[in-house]
Structure 1
């Protein structure tokens, strides 16, 4: 009996040790030196909005440099009635088109010819008109703020939706500095670095569909959660939500892309696989192209949340560790601290720079144009 138990323990030990010796999986598609075209953007049918198409190249997972942009390409949008609109190249591999409004009765495709002569075509796609956002709502929860989006299409034609958002928030440094050291002299600070605005652009893929519902209604779709301790809630917070109607193929493309890029992390998540868009090479059918060409409109809505509207939560600003010292001018010249203001008898209040300069927490001092709404 003891021998049997010992044999089982030995077998399990061998299995565990063997399991620890696993070589990383590096398929050829991940480690190959080749790169593939990446197409980002869509044909915006809003009359006053510029269309932007960005071209870049994929890179290996081990690469640390920014992706290479595709410059000097010929990019155009073609209609099913043989009209063609050439996009102009701007900086960073971005190609733009202004003053062209697509017709609801037409379909359109994207044509790309690179400087190396490779040509790519998208499939013809219809114009998807996005219904307005009904509201961007928020609810107070025990540990933060939940932001949701609501929309509907009374014609029951949209059914597939995507959302993106950008955030901004106001915050201040621990102390307001009136002096700074320049050329070993204390002079009046010319730039106010006490109040800043932080920002963030969401890059995740957020989708929802009403295809299984009798009515084309999206109600209280969770979009963003902000913890109660976040600095974003310290003074004033803003979120701008962008809503786009998708075709069924576009929705399927982004759904699969989200699964392999946002839900990978355990053995129960979807495993990496190839996601095929609607853009294809003309000559080499085996070449991969990343991206999905779309035509349509974007609806936006902005929400503000002010400090007075939420519970008296303890906001983590990072200012709690800011300490003040009193130094003479000679000490200031030697130790180079941040100077807050004069104190007494030739001494000055000083602290660390991150306690007086809000820009060191990633923000900018320029107030957004929309902030007083």
Structure 2
């Protein structure tokens, strides 16, 4: 693949560097709407994905999804796989699950809603290479300003056929609310003039255990072309600071390894060097990288993106903070338990009007009651500290292991 880099699509002028104290806003001087394509089909039998969008200006960096396109992947053995737009995910999903197979070539074909035809170059599936190890390791490196945990990967291909690798990961972590609430609290009979109300507490099963999943962003890749041995050794995939609340209780990471062609590796390497931190879909970066997509009507038309076939392997590991020699990290927020007296309804004692504060926090700030007594003294706390479903899910993933 011949990769071209055309710079200076955008530029910024900073008058401050000329001694001016007034900042100058970044603006797009010349803008060209370009189709953005991002798709990797793998040898895993599943619904495959194609992401389409249009470039955006520096002033309006929102993703401009390209909907209503006709999308298909054609194979050299005669199969044709159609794709449909998914409104929830904002990308195209194959109508039927399929997988890329060895010794079969694939082409991506796109017809946009304005009738333009685009086609990829022919791609083939690289050889499959299993990951040997995925493991966490304690790291304390003041020079790199790192003090926490590094997730590392070891991979070896004795055949020497696979030399280019890209990595993605999914993090799933268990959350235990530190101050679970055994009540639903409801305020009734509120009299604003008198400043009175009643709090009705209904027992409930505390929602204290949840699970959250986050997906990697950015481009993480490596190659073995400059090494004496054809192996990836101690390659860092994910770093977490020792104060990261994700492994406060239990943490899991699923690492996916993609074997790439040299063309795909080179394309993503240049995109990363140009400053992409999330994905190709966030394209307001200063530069253009020609991938393997072209316009059939106008070969000179710019198309940003790449269609690739990649063999994929994955491994999941679990660990707790004790496993890597760390102290328990703090919770996601600082949980402060407040004790408020409903009978304290004045500020004449140079103290807070606790009745008014109690109403405010329960009604507008979603504070939760975690304790109460017959003298109408209530213990309350922020919702994130009490009901984990406030920001997570209490559905246990099928794969989860304690």
1:289 corresponds to 2:267: no
- Partner residue, 1:348: 378
Contact residue 149 and residue 240 of structure 2 kept, 8 A: yes
Alpha-carbon shift at residue 296 of structure 1 (Å)? 2.7
Greater Cα shift, 188-197 or 52-61: 188-197
Counterpart CA distance in 2 for 1:96 and 1:152 is 32
Deviation at 1:226, TM superposition (A): 1.2
Matched, 1:363 2:360: no
Structure 2 portions without partners, runs of 5+:
1-14, 141-146, 189-198, 278-284, 346-354
C-alpha distance 190-37 of structure 1, shift in aligned 2 (>3 A): farther
Cα pair distance change 1:189/1:301, threshold 3 Å: farther
CA distance in 1, matches of 2:54, 2:398: 34
Checking the alignment, whether the CA contact within 8 Å between 1:39 and 1:55 is kept in structure 2 is yes
SS of corresponding position for 2:268: helix
Q: Is the 8 A contact 2:72 2:82 kept in 1?
A: yes
Structure 1 runs not aligned, ≥5 long: 1-14, 264-270
Paired position in structure 2 for 1:60 = 57
Count of aligned positions: 346
- CA-to-aligned-CA distance 1:75-122 (integer Å, 9 cap, x gap): 111234554333344333413143444442222111101121100000
Residue pair 2:46, 2:99 contacting (<8 A) in 1 also = no
- Partners of 2:170 and 2:213 within 8 A in 1: yes
> Are the counterparts in 1 of residues 49 and 91 from structure 2 also a CA contact under 8 Å?
no
Larger mean CA deviation between 284-293 and 74-83 belongs to 74-83
CA RMSD of aligned residues (A): 2.8
Instruction: Report the Cα offset of residue 321 of structure 1.
Output: 4.6
Q: TM-score, normalised by structure 2?
A: 0.77
Equivalent in the alignment of 2:110: 112
CA distance in 2, matches of 1:145, 1:214: 28
Q: Which 4+ stretches in 1 moved above 6 angstroms? A: none
8 A Cα contact 2:335 2:381, kept in partner: no
Evaluate the alpha carbon distance shift between residue 194 and residue 118 of structure 1 in structure 2; reply closer, same or farther with a 3 A threshold: same
- Matched with 1:231 is 245
Q: TM-score, normalised by structure 1?
A: 0.83
Paired with 1:338 and 1:259, the residues of 2 have a C-alpha distance of: 47
- CA displacement 1:112-168 (0-9 Å, x = unmatched): 011211000000011123311111122112321111111111211110000011112
Which of 165, 168, 171 aligns to 1:167? It is 171
Alignment of 1:69-108 (within 5 A): 69-80=65-76, 83-91=79-87, 92-108=90-106
Structure 1 position 172, deviation (Å): 2.6
Is it true that 1:200 corresponds to 2:214 in the alignment?
Answer: yes
Aligned partner of 2:133 in structure 1 is 135
- Shift of the 140–279 alpha-carbon distance from structure 1 to 2, 3 Å rule, reads same
Mark the CA change 1:26 to 1:130 in structure 2 (over 3 Å): closer, same or farther.
Answer: farther
